[in-house]
Structure 1
Amino acid sequence: MQINFTSLLNKKSINFLILLIGLQCFSQNKPNVIIIYTDDQGAVDLGSYGASDIYSPNIDKLAKEGTRFTQAYVAAPVCAPSRAALLTGKYPQNAGVNSNTSHVPDSHGMPNDQYTLAELFKDNGYKTGHIGKWHLGMSQETSPNAQGFDYSFGHLRGCIDNYSHYFFWAGPNIHDLYENGKEVFYDGQYFPDLASDRALKYVEDNKDDSFFMYYAINMPHYPYQPTDKWREFYKDVEKPRGDYAAFISTIDERIGFLIDKLEALGIRDNTIIVYQSDNGYSTETRAFNGGGNSGPYRGAKSSLFEGGIRLPTIISWKNSLPENIVNNKFLVNIDWLPTIASLCGINSPKNIDGLDMSKMIKDPNTSSPRTSAYWKYGNQWVVRKDNWKLIGYPKDTSHKGELDLENDALFLSNLDEDISEMKNLASKYPKIVEELKAEFLLWEHGHEADIPKKMVTINHLGKHKMIKSTKKLNNRYKNIEILTDGKRGYVDYSSGQWIGQEGKDLEFVIDLNSNKSISEINLGYLHNPSNWVFCPKLFEASFSTDGLSYSQPISSKASTRVNDKNNFIDTINLQTKQKAQFIKINIKGIKKIPEGHPGVGNPGWIFIDEIIIN
């Protein structure tokens, strides 16, 4: 008798086993995804992007094995909102991260209800890992492990010292190194090597599964701490360029380690690699005012000129996507979520701002589905449509040219004709300006209050009169003549129209040249809590006819809008009846940021512009 062994097994069990085997095969066939996100890297700072003084063979090889984009953008010119946009496929405003998140322990960052790339891949059977910088929240509910990552190793704040792993840039100094939410200590060990080792181990541990790894390299962000090997290589290059370039080569070497590991494991051909910088190079004091290069572009980190947002971007998937391609099509980092999802055969969520670029990447002759985009950071905003780009309240952190506070408040460029953005075309093409303004106002985050208004000159008794400070001023804000120039400032403390002080009071004496009858004084101020700027608690005025003896000070009432979370400019009013030549003005600032603000306990800023005397 012939025995039918199949009949001895439960057919449902057989079907289940077949299903499991099928799912395992499918899981193994799904491509792995690695997003390498560097930190504060200049627009042309790779050999493949034209830098003749930077050695980056591994990244350059990655470009040859894939597509190098020349018109790829990020959605914000600073770290946290750029990262939020990448991970959610949304404009930063829709991702809930308008500016850099707080370093204060347990402070919230990107809202937990945001659906991230990690959650998308995890929901589709992938292993998910985060290595490196986070900068999207200090609380448990906004940590990497709460945002879809099975594994996380790195620092939560914007930057750390690479050897002590301390965050030194706002007191108190805090150790900042975590693995899966637990603080870990590797005193004296070089963080880029710790991160590189974790990245290599992660791909090896998950070589038999499909995985998504977000490798957020914390370089070349300050502090400039390249390895001795690369510092020696660039010893003849003037600093800070030499140290910055050595940091790029330090990055490149570790990316080489990763690619070699993928090759050794036999999974390079089944791994999609995306490389991009989060924003332009830094010109901050801690970066020695530079080191990076934006090439033909104007702007750097914190600027919405091209140099702050148009950055090195590469995608490579060997034997599956075209190789050695230079693509000049328009895309933004919010497009990576739907694009990568499509390449992996995954449906992306519907409520995002990103567009699927996979067809354009597969066929470089295909036009980009993106023809327009919006940016908004602080007081700056941009609407781009086709080749036209309009900036509101532009800021040039690369210092390549002067900007007129009033005439350049709306700055128009034609990027097809002039990528340098050195000439404002607004007066030449007023109809284009109006069209783009209207386009901006159609965007859900574009508001009439964002549109620059013509600066009105205010005539008052103190206009162009002599003013001097009786207290030490902040080194960055000493042009006190703007307090009596008859002009109010824009809603941007860095516009050059403000005097700022951190954690201290301001005091000035104004000489009216002769005794004048005075009925009121108005103090113009800025309230910008997202940048730790708060309206004055109050201001006082005392009066003198000889400049020696002053009357008892008269105090204003504090602003009733102090707790308003929105940015605005306003005035505090002081009524009086005096006859005097000299007026002593004392402005009392907020000493410590109050509870309920991410910067609680730190010194707060006050910014004032015009002291209007009637």
Structure 2
Amino acid sequence: MLAFQKSNAQEKPNIVFILSDDAGYADFGFQGSKDFKTPNLDALAKSGVKFTQAYVSAAVCGPSRAGLLTGMYQQKFGYEENNVPGYMSHSGLTGDDMGLPLDQKTVADYLQKLGYKTAVFGKWHMGNADRFHPTKRGFDEFYGFRGGARSYYEITKHSKKQRKEDRLERGFEGYKESEIYLTDALAKETMSFMERNKENPFFVYLSFNAVHTPMEARADDLKTIPSHLTGKRRTLAAMTIGLDRACGQVLQKIKDLGIEKNTLIVFANDNGGPSDSNESNNHPLSGTKANHLEGGIRIPFLMSWKGQLKKSTTFNKPVSTLDLLPTFVTLAGGDVSKIKGLDGVDLLPYLKKGNKGKPHETLYWKKEARGAIRHNDYKLIRFPDRPAELYNIEDDISEVNDLASVHPEKVKELYKMLFDWELTLERPLWQLKRVYEGKAAVRMDKYRKPKINN
């Protein structure tokens, strides 16, 4: 049980967490893009802190979200793979039975007990079965879809896919499709929730499916894209305009409601951009979604709180989306020392109180036989089919200079640390029928050289 502070509930800060889906590391203005126009998110970056070394706990959507929602490495409770049809489990689970284990508390569970109104808008991807539903995992309100991806437009009886988890849902089993572009609809619902709860502390988890496939953009946004961008890259740029516009509407609503000084705003992405399926740009990082190079696990990450966090600042030490739960719960008046097994830390002391230490000296990743560890400046990547690779991330952000043969003792040290960590994990609750997942099974040499694609 969390300890409560004695402060008046209405004095507690609101928390708005915005998550984009499959965006490229460099596909935002505040990350250096010249072609992708994101004025609203650029303004958010200038209003607070930009993290230059922010990581997710997994290189694919589902496990990454399980980690950020629980504040602990998701492999600790067996959530190592995406929960999608085509998987199998050692206990006979089917696709719909795969989800965030019910014995795991979410950040919404903790905030709800601390007096917050909680809501998730958009992609859930934490289990399709009713028992995994957001309204049973700490969220008072839900408007979105249970699965991992769906059309940005109305799904009708004539649509090719009629899966329950793809359908747009309000609350529990309140199915009704939106008549407007889904990215816009999610922003609209978020603004309505904030309006209705402006007198109470609230937590918003705005979980966009943008810019995940399918590649569908508004026609008017496509018309604004420069002619030198073509194909998927052109569509992605237009979808990013839609994402930025929706974020801008939510941010403006916070200002209009007069709650800007009492609202912490966080923007992040769920994993690296999949440069094959949507032609995202992860420059200067090597790698892509589903692998453990930096392009698969390092993300854009912003935090803003008017009057509390200094404007136009950068934080250059490693942080993780595992840090969201302890940051949010502590801010809400909870005592995270009472929560067993947390791997994240409260970030605000490092930003507000001058804590000069590192939030994390060591971070881990694992998927099947593949794994990675970053310890201080060095990162080891372990493969099932060839020797491990070692990089000095501070000196070599693009991971092009393998130092494994130069520092064999460092390889041995990090290998042992990675193995020791793996001994603390549970067996995966489900696995792919094949040995490795799609592109992740391919040698990563094709992703080695960062793509320059402004």
TM-score tier, shorter chain, comes to: 0.7 to 0.9
The 1-side partners of 2:330 and 2:138 are apart by 19
Aligned to 1:244: 236
Contact 1:35 1:215 in 2 (8 A): yes
Sequence identity, in percent?
Answer: 34
The 1-side partners of 2:417 and 2:192 are apart by 48
AA paired with 2:344? G
Structure 2 unaligned regions, length at least 5: 86-93, 442-454
Residues 541-599 of structure 1 show CA distances to partners (whole Å, capped at 9, x for unaligned) of xxxxxxxxxxxxxxxxxxxxxxxxxx79xxxxxxxxxxxxxxxxxxxxxxxxxxxxxxx
Residues 439-465 of structure 1 show CA distances to partners (whole Å, capped at 9, x for unaligned) of 112114479xx9xxxxxxxxxxxxxxx
1:349-364 equivalences in 2 (<5 Å): 349-363=339-353
- SS of 2:152's equivalent in the other structure is coil
Question: Structure 1 252/156 Cα, relative in aligned 2: closer, same or farther at 3 Å?
Answer: same
Does residue 1:378 correspond to 2:279, yes or no? no
Question: Structure 1 95/215 Cα, relative in aligned 2: closer, same or farther at 3 Å?
Answer: farther
The 1-side partners of 2:320 and 2:255 are apart by 29
Aligned to 1:161: 151
Tell me which of 95, 98, 110 is aligned to 2:100.
110
- TM norm structure 1: 0.65
Contact 1:119 1:147 in 2 (8 A): yes
Aligned to 1:213: 204
Does residue 1:40 correspond to 2:26, yes or no? no
The 1-side partners of 2:398 and 2:159 are apart by 33
Contact 1:160 1:168 in 2 (8 A): no
Residues 120-140 of structure 1 show CA distances to partners (whole Å, capped at 9, x for unaligned) of 100100000010000000111
Question: Structure 1 187/417 Cα, relative in aligned 2: closer, same or farther at 3 Å?
Answer: closer
1:397-436 equivalences in 2 (<5 Å): 406=386, 409-436=387-414
The 1-side partners of 2:421 and 2:72 are apart by 13
Aligned to 1:270: 262
Question: Structure 1 342/108 Cα, relative in aligned 2: closer, same or farther at 3 Å?
Answer: same
The 1-side partners of 2:255 and 2:348 are apart by 24
- SS of 2:8's equivalent in the other structure is helix
Tell me which of 335, 338, 341 is aligned to 1:347.
335
Contact 2:50 2:314 in 1 (8 A): yes
Tell me which of 120, 130, 135 is aligned to 1:140.
130
Aligned to 1:227: 218
- SS of 1:280's equivalent in the other structure is coil
The 1-side partners of 2:176 and 2:342 are apart by 38
Does residue 1:57 correspond to 2:39, yes or no? yes
Aligned to 1:545: none
The 2-side partners of 1:218 and 1:305 are apart by 23
AA paired with 2:12? K
Does residue 1:201 correspond to 2:192, yes or no? yes
AA paired with 1:164? E
Contact 2:81 2:430 in 1 (8 A): no
The 1-side partners of 2:157 and 2:347 are apart by 38
Does residue 1:390 correspond to 2:377, yes or no? no
Task: Tell me the CA shift for residue 186 of structure 1.
Answer: 2.1
Tell me which of 422, 431, 435 is aligned to 1:530.
431
Aligned to 1:334: 322
Contact 1:160 1:166 in 2 (8 A): no
- SS of 1:161's equivalent in the other structure is coil
- SS of 1:342's equivalent in the other structure is helix
Question: Structure 1 416/98 Cα, relative in aligned 2: closer, same or farther at 3 Å?
Answer: same
- Indicate the larger mover: 53-62 or 91-100: 91-100
Question: Structure 1 150/305 Cα, relative in aligned 2: closer, same or farther at 3 Å?
Answer: same
The 1-side partners of 2:157 and 2:222 are apart by 23
Question: Structure 1 189/362 Cα, relative in aligned 2: closer, same or farther at 3 Å?
Answer: same
- Indicate the larger mover: 193-202 or 235-244: 235-244
Question: Structure 1 55/187 Cα, relative in aligned 2: closer, same or farther at 3 Å?
Answer: closer
Structure 1 unaligned regions, length at least 5: 1-21, 395-404, 451-527, 534-566, 569-606, 608-614
Structure having the higher strand fraction is 1
Contact 2:57 2:321 in 1 (8 A): yes
Task: Select the structure with the greater relative contact order (CA < 8 A; seq sep ≥ 6).
Answer: 2
AA paired with 2:433? W
Question: Structure 1 263/532 Cα, relative in aligned 2: closer, same or farther at 3 Å?
Answer: same
Task: Tell me the CA shift for residue 188 of structure 1.
Answer: 4.6
The 2-side partners of 1:129 and 1:168 are apart by 31
The 1-side partners of 2:297 and 2:84 are apart by 22
- SS of 1:233's equivalent in the other structure is coil
1:119-138 equivalences in 2 (<5 Å): 119-138=109-128
Structure having the higher helix fraction is 2
Instruction: Tell me the matched-pair count.
Output: 419
Question: Structure 1 333/445 Cα, relative in aligned 2: closer, same or farther at 3 Å?
Answer: farther
Contact 2:170 2:176 in 1 (8 A): no
Does residue 1:260 correspond to 2:248, yes or no? no
Contact 2:83 2:95 in 1 (8 A): no
- Indicate the larger mover: 69-78 or 437-446: 437-446
Tell me which of 353, 359, 374 is aligned to 1:369.
359
Bigger-Rg structure (1/2)? 1
The 1-side partners of 2:408 and 2:56 are apart by 28
> RMSD across aligned C-alpha pairs, in angstroms?
2.6
Contact 1:440 1:446 in 2 (8 A): no
The 2-side partners of 1:172 and 1:105 are apart by 15
The 2-side partners of 1:110 and 1:188 are apart by 31
The 1-side partners of 2:78 and 2:311 are apart by 36
Contact 2:111 2:332 in 1 (8 A): no
Task: Tell me the CA shift for residue 231 of structure 1.
Answer: 0.8
The 1-side partners of 2:189 and 2:163 are apart by 25
The 1-side partners of 2:33 and 2:424 are apart by 37
Aligned to 2:305: 317
Task: Tell me the CA shift for residue 378 of structure 1.
Answer: 2.9
Tell me which of 283, 290, 293 is aligned to 1:305.
293
Question: Structure 1 173/87 Cα, relative in aligned 2: closer, same or farther at 3 Å?
Answer: closer
Aligned to 2:73: 91
- SS of 1:148's equivalent in the other structure is coil
Task: Tell me the CA shift for residue 108 of structure 1.
Answer: 3.1
Aligned to 2:447: none
Contact 1:32 1:211 in 2 (8 A): yes
- SS of 2:17's equivalent in the other structure is strand
AA paired with 1:269? K
The 2-side partners of 1:64 and 1:335 are apart by 22
